[in-house]
Amino acid sequence: MDLAFTAEEEAFRDEVRAFLDEHLTDDLRAAGDLATSVYSDHEASLQWQAILHERGWAAPAWPVEHGGCDWTVAQHYIFARESVLAGAPFLSPMGIRMVAHAIIRFGTDDQKTFFLPRILDASVFFCQGYSEPESGSDLASLSMRAESDGHDLVLTGSKIWTTHAREANWMFALVRTSKGERKQQGITFLLLDMTVPGIEIQPLVMASGEEVQNVVFFDRVRVPKANVLGKIDEGWTVAKYLLEFERGGGAAAPGCRSRSTGSRRRPGCPRPWRRALAEDDDFRRGLAELRARVDVLEVLEHRSLAVLAAGGNPGPAASMLKILGTELSQAITEFIHKSAGPRGRVYQPHVTRPGGPVVEYLPPPGGAHSGELWQAVAPLRYFNDRAGSIYAGSNEIQRNILAKAALGL
């Protein structure tokens, strides 16, 4: 595999850099730099999506006929890398990176016509209704009922860990419509309007102080059967397809590289790192190991992007990338947290731009924070990243998938 960029690809990189330099305001950059998880400040994320949509770059991985870009694998990677290095806020993955691909693959013409343009302009903003109090990594054990009643399905039950449920006006959800011999049978994939009667949302306060995730209760909520994606009782097929994009359809390496080496805007390392690199053999060894792992992840992601560019889906490689990406990210955030020293132990959520409200905080008298800003952000990113090996299917489940699908065990 030739990892050197061609002259055309370098010209594209320069085009992307010029675009980012022109359109990323200081406020948008702050939202990207101070994000504490994979979710940026909600309003900043929507603002950035609108700018990208106007340029035609909001969903580059979509088919061109639906608003995507006719880019090469290298161009996709360059765009992702430069966006991270420039400090751009993240777009919510629920619509553009996840359910949109399922709608393109399984949706009716009416569903594609309605949802895809509205996902692009963010007038439809999705959350994900998968996990339940008793069904997390073992997702097929879900029990939320959806009973048939004429042209509708009537939903009763709850979903948990639902990110941005309060901001979303639509949810894609897995519900139980029947029981079969196998628990994967009888599951239906639904697109449901979050503004209809019978839905109650209660926020969850995370260890980082944010209210990004929620519990959602459904009390006889009516959803038209026309909103079923695919076929009734066959939603597991849709869910498996979507999970491949959730677990392996993005590029984690650019973000990992940025955090372990600095950014194009602010090259180099924090000052304490520079001192440690000069004086501490263990520190140099640890940082070198992390950067080597980033190199490996980058090559594997190139392979996955090549599959996507050829019209395929990641398959079992999605599980491998999910494991490697989340565990590497956790290792980097832990390394940075340790490097932050005593100032990294102070709880300072007010200096960040998280993906949801921060509760129960009183600013300290005499100043917003002490030390350098990265030290204040470090523990909050550390707390958030602990969930990386759990969400989108725990890494233990991913290893089971790889053992069965890739190794035939």
How confident is the model at residue 244, as a pLDDT? 67
Q: Compute φ and ψ for 101, nearest 5 degrees.
A: -65, -35
227 occurs within a structural domain: yes
Residues 19, 154 within the same domain: no
Q: What is the bridge-based pairing of β-strands 213-224 and 199-204?
A: antiparallel
Residues 191, 72 within the same domain: no
CB 235 within 8 A of CB 187: yes
Residues 280, 327 within the same domain: yes
How confident is the model at residue 136, as a pLDDT? 72
Q: Give the separation between CA 188 and CA 185, rounded to whole angstroms.
A: 9
CB 380 within 8 A of CB 209: yes
- Please say which residue of 104, 138, 167 terminates a domain: 104
* pTM > 0.95: yes or no: no
CATH of the domain at 182: 2.40.110.10
185 occurs within a structural domain: yes
At what angle are helices 271-279 and 317-339 packed, to 10 degrees? 90
CATH of the domain at 56: 1.10.540.10
Residues 328, 185 within the same domain: no
Q: Give the separation between CA 9 and CA 16, rounded to whole angstroms.
A: 10
Q: Give the separation between CA 70 and CA 224, rounded to whole angstroms.
A: 35
307 occurs within a structural domain: yes
Residues 254, 206 within the same domain: no
Q: Quote the number of domains for the chain.
A: 3
Per residue of the chain (409 residues), give pLDDT as tens.
Answer: 455 678 999 999 999 999 999 999 999 998 888 887 888 899 999 999 999 999 999 999 899 999 999 998 788 888 988 998 888 999 998 999 999 999 999 999 999 999 999 999 999 999 999 999 988 777 888 999 999 999 999 999 999 999 999 999 999 999 999 988 888 999 999 999 999 999 999 999 876 677 888 999 999 999 999 999 999 999 999 998 887 665 544 567 777 877 776 555 554 455 556 666 667 788 888 888 988 998 888 888 877 777 766 667 667 787 888 888 888 888 988 888 887 776 676 666 666 777 776 654 444 444 444 456 777 777 778 777 877 787 767 888 788 878 887 788 8
Residues 183, 265 within the same domain: no
- Alpha helix positions (H), 178-316: 235-248, 253-261, 271-279, 281-309
CB 254 within 8 A of CB 263: no
- Please say which residue of 234, 265, 282 terminates a domain: 234
118 occurs within a structural domain: no
Its domain, for residue 216, covers 126-234
Q: Give the separation between CA 272 and CA 282, rounded to whole angstroms.
A: 14
230 occurs within a structural domain: yes
